[in-house]
Structure 1
C-alpha cells in the first residue's frame, strides 16, 4: 500500500479498502454526528457489514474506473477522507467529495488531500472537469471549494433530502486549464 504525505504534520493520504472496515466504522462512530450534519455517509455506515459494503462499492468503482476513495490518517488514526464519488474518464468529468471527524477539523487536511487527488485526476487520468457539490449551509466545504480555486456555477434548490429536510446544493467546479494555471502561479 502507498501513503502520500500531506505535510510536515505527519498526515497521510492512503487508499481506503474493504479490509479496513472496522477502522472505518470506528472512525465514523467518532464523528457520526459531525459528519452527518450535511452528508448521508454516516447513515450508510451504521455497522460493520454496511461499512464493509460501502468500502466494497468503492473498490468496485475503482476496478471499473468510476470512482476512488482515500482515507486521511494522522498519528496512525483514520480521521477523514476524500473521494471521487463519480468519475467518467471517457467524458473527462469527476465529482470530488470529503468528510472529516471533528478532532481533525480546521487543520487544512481536506484541502491538502483534495489537491493531491484532483491533481492526479487531471494530470494522470485526463479529467477535464472536477465538480464539488456542497450543501449551501456547509460553509467549511464551500471554503474548501474556494481554496481549491473552484468557481461556483449554480445552486440546485431543495434537491437533496437529508434527514427530513430538503437542502440546497451549491455546484462548484474547476477545469483542467484553470487548475494548471493556478499551479503555475507563485505562492505569495
Structure 2
C-alpha cells in the first residue's frame, strides 16, 4: 500500500480498504456527531460491518474506475478522509468530498488531501470537471472549495433531505484548465 505525505507535519494520505473496517469504525465513533452534522457517512458506518460494507462499496467503485476513497492519517491515526463519491471517466466528471473528526479540524488536512486527489484525477485520469457539493450551512466545506480554486455554480434549493430536514446544496467546481492555471500561479 502507498502513502503520500501531506506536508511536514507527518500527515499522510492512503487508500482506505475493507480490511481497515475496524479502524474506520473507531474513527467514526470518535467523530460521529461532528461528521454527521451534514453528511450521512456517520449514519452508514454505525458498526464494524457497516464500515466494512461502506469500504467494500468503494473498493468495487475503484475496480470499476467509478470512485475512490482515501484516509487521512496523522501520527498513525485515521482522522478523516477524501473521496471521489462518483467518477465518470468517459464524461470527464467527478464529485469529490471529505470528512474530518473534530481533533483534526483547522490544520488544512482536507485541503491538502483534496489537492492530491484532484490533481491525480485531472492529470492521470483525464477528468475535466471536479465537483464539490456541500450543504449551504457547512461553512467549513465551502471554505475548502474556495481554497481549491473552485467556482460556485449554484444552489440546489432544499434538494437534500437529511435527518428530517431539507438542506440547500451548493455546487462548486473546477475545470481542468482552471486547475492547471491555479497550480502554475501557486
Q: Note the C-alpha offset of 1:17.
A: 0.1
Q: Which residue of 2 aligns with 1:103?
A: 103
Distance in structure 2 (CA, Å) of the matches to 1:110 and 1:48? 24
Q: Which residue of 2 aligns with 1:184?
A: 184
Distance in structure 2 (CA, Å) of the matches to 1:56 and 1:88? 19
Cα offsets for 1:103-137 (capped at 9, x unmatched): 00000000000000000000000000000000000
Q: TM-score, normalised by structure 2?
A: 0.99
Q: Which runs of 4+ in 1 moved over 4 A?
A: none
Q: Which residue of 1 aligns with 2:20?
A: 20
Q: Note the C-alpha offset of 1:43.
A: 0.5
Cα offsets for 1:7-54 (capped at 9, x unmatched): 000000000000000000000000000000010100000011110000
SS of alignment partner, residue 116 of structure 2? helix
Mapping 1:39-54, distance limit 5 Å: 39-54=39-54
Q: Note the C-alpha offset of 1:164.
A: 1.0
SS of alignment partner, residue 126 of structure 2? coil
- Unpaired segments ≥5 residues, structure 1: none
Mapping 1:37-186, distance limit 5 Å: 37-185=37-185
Q: TM-score, normalised by structure 1?
A: 0.98
Q: Which residue of 2 aligns with 1:34?
A: 34
Distance in structure 2 (CA, Å) of the matches to 1:63 and 1:7? 29
